[in-house]
Amino acid sequence: MDNRSEVRDFLMTRRGRLTPEQAGITPFGGARRVPGLRREELAMLAGVSVDYYVRLERGNLTGVSESVLHSLAGALRLDDTERAHLFDLARNANSVGLRPRTSVTNRVRPGLQRLLDSMSGPAYLRNGRLDLLAFNTPGRALYSPVLSSAAQPANTARFTFLDAGSHDFWDDWAAMADGLVATLRAEAGRYPTDKRLTDLIGELATRSPDFRSRWASHEVYRHSTGAKTFHHPFVGELTLTFEALTFPADDGLVLVAYDAEPASRSADALRLLMALTSAPVGPDEGSWREG
């Protein structure tokens, strides 16, 4: 991935979404051809010269100080994830001869698998590329459409953009798609030399117009808690809350655990799913139970 292009497009899209009214400034005179801030206005807000900001927006973050980055992030009203992404891009720009990422999280320690297995609700482990690495039994049952999909190896983004069945599985497909692309964009900012990540992005961009259009927006954000609604082929609709947890000893690994509101229809559906999971496997059940 070309860091200069990433920097340029990220700054341009952030500037383009921020209006003078939102920034609290009086617009410079004349008719405006674009809804966002002009370069001159952003430079003023960031406390840098127009020429210097133009240099930044051309993708050159070499030698830029942290104070300037903080001022720029404040002027653009970046949230925490966007700010971290800007700093990642600056770090990449100032790392001479970036070496390919060699420490890729693909393995799950036995202790983490035991932790998964000790959890009563659906849970799984993924890496930053959204590869699905390990499940407990309820988690495998919940994600059976993903695991049995023809879009393999199992990866949430690959399933969402390359399997038409994902539109049935995710209740709000568009929101899910937006979030997945934003997560991959943030990961690409952190690890621009991860070949498996760039290969995945290339695969999705080549095969999915929906992915391409979202990738061009340069959105970055992460969800560590919230709710998702699934349409499961065996138990119907489930709305489950989730928590995403990281591990200092396992860089990039994320544990996602689901639960249902007590005494809800989703709680009943989740109990049914777990009962089906624990039932003996018949001749027609093995495919979804084993993924």
Where along the chain do its domains lie?
A: 3-93, 110-290
Mean pLDDT within 106-130: 93
Mean pLDDT within 126-155: 94
The answer regarding whether domain 3-93 maps to CATH 1.10.1030.10 reads no
pLDDT for the residue numbered 281? 43
pLDDT higher for 31 or 270? 270
Mean pLDDT of the chain: 89
pLDDT at 243 over 60: yes
pLDDT for the residue numbered 25? 83
Query: Same CATH topology for 3-93 and 110-290?
Result: no
Instruction: Give this prediction's pTM.
Output: 0.86
pLDDT at 189 over 80: yes
pLDDT for the residue numbered 279? 53
pLDDT for the residue numbered 29? 60
pLDDT for the residue numbered 28? 62
Angle, vertex CA 116, rays to CA 114 and CA 121, nearest 5? 140
Distance CA 161, CA 182 (A): 14
Residue-wise pLDDT for 43-82, tens only, equals 999 999 999 999 999 999 999 999 999 999 999 999 999 9
Residue-wise pLDDT for 257-291, tens only, equals 999 999 999 999 999 998 887 754 443 433 343 33
pLDDT for the residue numbered 96? 64
Distance CA 16, CA 37 (A): 6
CATH level 3 topology of 110-290: Beta-Lactamase (3.30.450)
For residue 177, give Cα distances in angstroms to 33, 100, 158: 31, 28, 10
> Each residue of 195-228: b (16+ CB within 10 Å) or e?
eebeebbebbeeebebbeebbeebbbeeeeeeeb
